[in-house]
């Protein structure tokens, strides 16, 4: 059984998650395991929403830093712009993959039938093998 998390530990986990964006680091700061945080999120919907909000805050901070670097320019700004456009306008800038599967299958050689025909047995009667005959006697 997973242990419950104190309100103070929940607060620490949420603040740390918003700062680092990493559930393991948040759990360590709160003095619990990552599994305990996840389990608490499945039991406590309010806590789950707080974790989701903390993750959104973390992403917003990174996005603000990205926007600042794009405005300042520099040699890496074109790459940053490309990723920003993919994130903001995925319908227009996402990478598109087309998968085609060819269903034309040619059989080069068939599987040969067994040389010895299968012996039909009466239902419910086991086939006697040397091992079975020895075990019965």
Domain layout of the chain by residue ranges: 7-93
- For residues 5 and 92, the model is more confident at 5
3-state SS of 26-42 is: HHHHHCCCHHHHHHHHH
Average pLDDT over residues 99-105: 70
The whole-angstrom separation of Cα 100 and Cα 132 is: 53
pLDDT tops 90 at residue 118 = no
Chain center to CA of 46: 23
């Amino acid at each position: 059984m997973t242990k419950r998390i104190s309100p103070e530990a929940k607060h620490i986990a949420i603040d740390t998650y918003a700062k680092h964006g990493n559930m393991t680091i948040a759990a360590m700061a709160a003095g619990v395991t990552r599994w305990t945080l996840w389990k608490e999120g499945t039991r406590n919907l309010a806590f789950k929403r707080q974790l989701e909000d903390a993750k959104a805050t973390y992403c917003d901070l990174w996005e603000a830093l990205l926007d600042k670097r794009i405005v300042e320019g520099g040699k890496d700004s074109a790459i940053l712009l490309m990723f920003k456009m993919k994130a903001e306008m995925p319908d227009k800038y996402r990478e598109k993959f087309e998968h085609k599967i060819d269903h034309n299958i040619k059989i080069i050689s068939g599987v040969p039938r067994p040389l010895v025909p299968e012996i039909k047995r009466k239902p419910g009667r086991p086939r006697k093998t040397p091992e079975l005959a020895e075990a019965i006697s």
